[in-house]
């Protein structure tokens, strides 16, 4: 009920009431300077919205989104509990308040930030960007000190809960945290209440609302990555990664599963190894960002089903035997103490839901990151890893499968393979000679996954490899193959001893050439064959052909972004126009980050996981047939 007033009217003064009407006050909205008369007591957000002044909102003014902040330069109203939850201490000092919490009790000049100023998290800084609202599970609220002797006979816990809006009010508190409350609430510096899932998990001295971090883990069979997210701002504060040490028990999942099978000590060992790595990454992340690990309040995790079992120390025996039953495929909401992370014991750990079989929460992470269920377009996401997982579908139907690709595309089982770390050749171009880029712009030390795809695709185009994956003998090379390439192709006595010199020793460490062997081609062929066969099975299940796909998204923690043209050329992907093949980087990790910063997306991931159908490939004769076909390279 806001009525825009002319300047003349406004100048008549707000104290002059229109006869017969309720008392009104004047609101001036900056930067436009528009003026409105509104009934006294009207909620500012409502008044602005009705007057057509655009104030950001997600929740529509019920106090849960924190988007509708406005600034008062003079005499800001008292900050409410919701202000403390949604705004930083600095913003409150600057006069920012949530407009849905302010009543127009007197004439006010209100600065409305431009729409979009409020924090959206650019969650994928590489690859596909997706703006996610900052809506973390962890909440903090500062409670200024009040002498308890001056308050009524109110239980300490009631003083905590009464300050929160109903929808965010903590409902529960672990006993050991509750035991800290009497001292904390009487701390002269005030106290910050930390909640997660509406459970109070800490009472901290002073105002710590700006110190609020979470970690998203992507546990791959080969690579483990941790992302430190600033939950107060939604920005990424640090990244750390490491090779999964479990690889000593097998570089693929099967070897590790058999290690753990009916062998509690094997499982305990695998569990201890991953925990040790996660704890090291936590310390590394905190060190990089200059924070304390006690500033980390929540952890989310994605990983395939085997990593999930090893992390949670769940007996994986039956996961490794037909019919491949996991212990659970539901999301697991537990604590750092229960799981064994070196954080405060009540820090919540949220392991995303799995789909079925070996298709784990990493795939759910990819689905979240690519928003694959967001529309009607039929899209496919392929997570290229030691196990390749594929999802196909749209908002109506989703199907997924996994195929044992082996670790080649993560750099393992490749003679000069390495993971995507400084020194890794990550992209290769071939024209008259070989050109390549190196991560960190240093001298090359080895080859990572994204380069493998470039190499094979371009060797095929250059006439160095035939479509069965064999190096062509010098004698049979086409005349068009330039001399510089011929000189790099070193023929062995046996065909399998043939190799190609990508970088000569003098460009590298001075001692060893960086080579790509016939065996390396075979390894790459097995990996891409398994993945391609999986995609064929999914398309067949839905009765589709390659061309029916609107988009194929390539994801993986296997290094830098895959070159789409090369991925198509070597037959890793369905054969589509190249503009419909995109590379989305470590989408599983992005999914873990999204679940960390936004609880609505987290809930959505649970539904997606439950709704996705799983196609069991292991033991399927159709898959074996498809695999044989898919091992070949396309003829062009």
Alpha-carbon distance of 269 to 176, in angstroms, equals 30
Is residue 341 part of the contact set for a second copy (CB under 8 A)?
Answer: no
> Please, what is the Cα angle at 220 between 336 and 620, to 5 degrees?
120
Stretch that binds a second copy, among 311-319, 403-411, 495-503, 553-561 (CB under 8 A): 311-319
Considering the complex, what minimum distance in angstroms separates the CB of residue 334 from a second copy? 5
Provide the minimum distance between the beta carbon of 6 and a second copy in the complex, in angstroms, as a whole number. Answer: 53
DSSP 189: T
| CA–CA gap between residue 377 and residue 373 (Å, rounded) | 9
Stretch that binds a second copy, among 77-85, 151-159, 363-371, 588-596 (CB under 8 A): 151-159
Task: Give the shortest CB-84-to-a second copy separation in angstroms.
Answer: 22
**Binding of a second copy at residue 317 (CB under 8 A)?**
yes
Among 1, 12, 131, 154, binds a second copy (CB under 8 A): 154
Which residue lies nearer to a second copy by CB, 207 or 346? Answer: 346
- From the list 1-9, 93-101, 308-316, 560-568, the region that binds a second copy by CB under 8 A is 308-316
Q: Which of 301, 307, 273, 451 is nearest to 387 (CA)?
A: 307
- Contact between 324 and a second copy by CB under 8 A: the answer reads yes
Q: Which stretch binds a second copy (CB under 8 A): 19-27, 176-184, 471-479, 627-635?
A: 176-184
β-strands 108-111, 120-122: how paired? unpaired
Residue 620, token pair as written in the block: 């399927």
Residue whose CB is less far from a second copy, 44 or 160: 160
The binder of a second copy chosen from 75, 149, 480, 483 (CB under 8 A): 149
**69 or 614: CB nearest a second copy:** 614
d(CA 320, CA 458): 38
Q: Does 174 bind a second copy (CB under 8 A)?
A: yes
Query: What angle (nearest 5°) sits at the alpha carbon of residue 446, between those of residues 442 and 450?
Result: 95
Of the candidate residues 14, 318, 344, 542, the single one contacting a second copy (CB under 8 A): 318
165 binds a second copy (CB under 8 A): no
Token digits of residue 282: 């936590």
We find the least distance from the C-beta atom of residue 326 to a second copy, in angstroms, to be: 5
Q: Does 172 bind a second copy (CB under 8 A)?
A: yes
Helical axes 587-597 vs 599-611, angle rounded to 10°: 130
Among 285, 313, 514, 594, binds a second copy (CB under 8 A): 313
Instruction: Categorise residue 393: left if φ over 0, alpha if ψ from -120 to 50, beta otherwise.
Output: left
Q: Alpha-carbon distance 534 to 216, whole Å?
A: 28
Interface with a second copy, residue 152, by CB under 8 A = yes
Q: Which residue is it, tokens 């000590």?
A: 265
CB of 338 to a second copy, least distance (A): 5
Q: Is 457 helix (H, G, I), strand (E, B) or coil?
A: helix
Nearer Cβ to a second copy (262/486): 262
Q: How far is the CB of 219 from a second copy (least distance, A)?
A: 16
Least CB distance from residue 265 to a second copy, whole Å? 15
Out of 25, 44, 112, 181, name the contact with a second copy by CB under 8 A: 181
Q: Does 253 bind a second copy (CB under 8 A)?
A: no
Task: Pick between residue 150 and residue 478 the one whose CB is nearest to a second copy.
Answer: 150
- Residue 6 within binding range of a second copy, rule CB under 8 A: no
Contact between 191 and a second copy by CB under 8 A: the answer reads no
How big is the site for a second copy, counted in residues (CB under 8 A)?
46
Output 67 or 614, the one with its CB closest to a second copy: 614
SS3 annotation, 15-47: CCCCCCCCCEEEEEEECCCEEEEEECCCEHHHH
Q: Could you say whether residue 332 binds a second copy (CB under 8 A)?
A: yes
List the strands of the sheet with 499-503, edge to edge: 489-490, 499-503, 514-517
Stretch near a second copy under the rule CB under 8 A, chosen from 23-31, 117-125, 147-155, 525-533: 147-155
**36 and 109 Cβ atoms separated by less than 8 Å:** no
Residue 328 C-beta: closest distance to a second copy, Å: 4
Region binding a second copy by CB under 8 A among candidate stretches 182-190, 277-285, 428-436, 579-587? 182-190
DSSP letters, 260-315, are: HTT-HHHHHHHHHHHHHHHHHHHHHHHHHHT--GGGEEEEEEEE-HHHHHHHHT--
Q: Give the 3-state secondary structure of residue 365.
A: helix
Among residues 299, 301, 312, 567, the one that binds a second copy under rule CB under 8 A: 312
Is residue 286 within 8 Å of 295, Cβ to Cβ? yes
DSSP state of 2: -
Three-state SS string over 377-402 comes to: CCEEEEECCCEEEEEEECCCCEEEEE
Between CA 16 and CA 12 the distance in angstroms is 7
Question: Where in 508-547 is the site for a second copy (CB under 8 A)?
Answer: none
Looking at the Cβ atoms of 321 and 468, the one nearer to a second copy is 321
Binding flag, residue 13, a second copy (CB under 8 A): no
Asked if 221 and 407 touch (Cβ cutoff 8 Å), the reply is: yes
Asked if 357 interacts with a second copy (CB under 8 A), we say yes
Interacting residue ranges for a second copy, rule: CB under 8 A:
148-149, 151-158, 172-176, 178-179, 181-183, 186, 312-315, 317-318, 321-330, 332-334, 338-339, 356-357, 614, 616
């Amino acid at each position: 009920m806001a009525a825009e007033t002319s300047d003349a009217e406004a100048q008549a003064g707000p104290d002059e009431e229109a006869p017969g009407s309720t008392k009104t006050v004047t609101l001036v909205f900056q930067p436009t300077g528009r003026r409105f008369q509104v009934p006294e007591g009207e909620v500012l957000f409502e008044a602005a919205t009705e007057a057509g002044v655009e104030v950001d909102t997600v929740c529509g003014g019920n106090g849960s989104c924190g988007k509708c902040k406005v600034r008062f330069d003079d005499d800001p109203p008292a900050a409410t509990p919701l202000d403390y939850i949604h705004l930083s201490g600095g913003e409150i000092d600057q006069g920012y308040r949530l407009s849905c919490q302010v009543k127009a009790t007197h004439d006010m000049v209100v600065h409305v930030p431009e729409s979009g100023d409020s924090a959206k998290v650019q969650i994928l800084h590489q690859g596909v960007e997706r703006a996610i609202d900052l809506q973390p599970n962890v909440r903090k609220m500062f409670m200024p000190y009040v002498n308890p002797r001056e308050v009524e006979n109110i239980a300490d816990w009631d003083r905590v809960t009464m300050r929160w809006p109903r929808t965010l009010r903590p409902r529960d508190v672990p006993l050991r945290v509750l035991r800290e409350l009497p001292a904390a609430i009487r701390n002269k510096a005030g106290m910050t209440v930390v909640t997660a899932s509406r459970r109070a998990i800490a009472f901290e001295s002073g105002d710590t609302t700006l110190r609020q971090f979470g970690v998203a883990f992507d546990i791959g069979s080969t690579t483990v990555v941790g992302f430190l997210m600033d939950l107060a701002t939604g920005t990424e504060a640090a990244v750390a990664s490491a090779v999964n040490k479990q690889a000593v028990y097998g570089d693929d999942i099967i070897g590790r599963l058999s290690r753990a099978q009916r062998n509690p000590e094997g499982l305990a060992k695998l569990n201890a190894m991953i925990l040790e790595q996660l704890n090291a990454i936590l310390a590394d992340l905190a060190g990089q960002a200059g924070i304390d690990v006690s500033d980390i309040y929540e952890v989310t995790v994605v990983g395939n089903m085997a990593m999930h079992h090893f992390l949670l120390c769940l007996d994986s025996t039956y996961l490794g035997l037909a019919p491949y039953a996991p212990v659970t495929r539901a999301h697991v909401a537990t604590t750092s103490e229960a799981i064994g992370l070196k954080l405060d014991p009540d820090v919540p750990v949220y392991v995303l839901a799995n789909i079925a079989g070996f298709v784990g929460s990493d795939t759910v992470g990819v689905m979240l990151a690519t928003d694959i269920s967001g529309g009607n377009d039929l899209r496919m996401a392929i997570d290229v890893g030691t196990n390749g997982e594929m999802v196909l579908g749209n908002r109506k139907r989703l199907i997924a499968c996994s195929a044992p690709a082996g670790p080649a595309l993560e750099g393992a089982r490749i003679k000069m393979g390495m993971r995507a770390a400084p020194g890794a050749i990550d992209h290769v171009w071939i024209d008259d000679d070989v050109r390549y880029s190196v991560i960190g712009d240093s001298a090359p030390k080895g080859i990572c996954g994204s380069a493998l795809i470039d190499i094979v695709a371009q060797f095929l185009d250059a006439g160095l490899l035939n479509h069965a994956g064999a190096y062509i003998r010098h004698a049979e090379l086409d005349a068009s193959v330039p001399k510089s390439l011929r000189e790099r192709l070193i023929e062995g006595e046996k065909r399998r001893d043939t190799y190609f010199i990508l970088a000569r020793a003098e460009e590298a460490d001075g001692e060893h050439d960086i080579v790509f062997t016939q065996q390396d081609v075979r390894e790459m062929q097995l990996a891409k064959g398994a993945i391609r066969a999986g995609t064929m099975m999914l398309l067949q299940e839905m009765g589709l052909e390659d061309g029916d796909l609107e988009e194929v998204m390539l994801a993986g923690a296997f290094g830098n972004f895959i070159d789409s043209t090369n991925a198509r050329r070597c037959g890793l992907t369905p054969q589509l126009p190249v503009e419909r093949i995109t590379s989305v980087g470590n989408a599983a990790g992005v999914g873990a980050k999204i679940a960390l910063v936004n609880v609505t997306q987290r809930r959505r991931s649970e539904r997606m996981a439950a709704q996705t159908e799983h196609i069991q490939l292991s033991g399927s004769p159709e898959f074996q047939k498809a695999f044989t076909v898919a091992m070949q390279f396309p003829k062009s």
